Structure 1
């Protein structure tokens, strides 16, 4: 699969907005502060994170098929968030490629040796993916619903 990671543009937000079907999926993806419904024009501001970077994954036909962000949480550590793959691209390895490319970009830009992310305990596909990428659960910083996961020198 030949996929490219690029800085997110407004046309990407237009596509991403169509992937979120309801308030529950919006909250689980973007957090409780992002209202639903929203307009694609609002997404750049709604998803803005101080010191954060947003990237989109493009397929060989130049279609946006994925999105993710990262931000520095402390010296030497970055946090990945709001990772999503278009419904049509799920199940074909795009999530793995997005995560690998996003981790590499985050570690390169931030000079980080550690990457963290949060995942819902009941999101078995994502939990399996992140575990296979070398992330380990940190129960002491997890909640009943959300797991904090960490990887060092992501592979």
Structure 2
């Protein structure tokens, strides 16, 4: 399994992971358009401006996806997803750890952040295993109903002395 820069041919498979309004909004946020077209999907994930990565299996199959950007001085992970057929296999942890490492190095920071739905215990458990914990959002919390903010130095980073 390898995390590498996402390619446009991954988008069709990625779009199939979000078959309804609820799953789409839970993943992409309340402003993500649904039903989406290929064009609106690309616009709403900011394909042209955000670093996007795909977790690829041994046979070239898309197993995960995630993005990152600088937010409040941290590498903010966003739009994290594992293929519905691959969930429950600890791939989320692998995705978060590898994307955190790439993003922090690229952005020159040593901490990450993310938003997660408070009623998604599997994701919260995954993020905690990766070194994240709940934190107060610095400043005005964006209008992301039902989301909590987590920050951390993922387990792959040595602590600052």
Alpha-carbon contact 2:131-2:154 (below 8 Å) kept = no
Q: What TM-score comes out, normalization by structure 2 length? A: 0.86
Alpha-carbon contact 1:49-1:71 (below 8 Å) kept = no
**Pair 1:79-2:80 in alignment:** no
Match of 2:57 in 1: 59
Match of 1:21 in 2: 19
Q: What TM-score comes out, normalization by structure 1 length? A: 0.89
Runs of 4+ residues over 3 Å off in structure 1:
none
Correspondence list, 1:42-121, <5 A: 42-48=40-46, 52-75=50-73, 77-121=74-118
Q: Indicate the RMSD between aligned Cα atoms, in angstroms.
A: 1.9
Alpha-carbon contact 2:33-2:40 (below 8 Å) kept = no
Cα distance in structure 1, aligned partners of 2:154 and 2:89: 25
Alpha-carbon contact 2:56-2:64 (below 8 Å) kept = yes
Cα distance in structure 1, aligned partners of 2:37 and 2:145: 31
Cα distance in structure 1, aligned partners of 2:154 and 2:90: 21
Match of 2:146 in 1: 145
Alpha-carbon contact 2:10-2:62 (below 8 Å) kept = yes
Alpha-carbon contact 1:52-1:72 (below 8 Å) kept = no
Please report how far the alpha carbon of residue 64 of structure 1 lies from its aligned counterpart in structure 2 after TM superposition. Answer: 0.9
Alpha-carbon contact 1:7-1:54 (below 8 Å) kept = yes
Task: Assess, with a 3 A threshold, how the Cα gap between structure 1 residues 126 and 87 changes in structure 2: closer, same or farther.
Answer: same
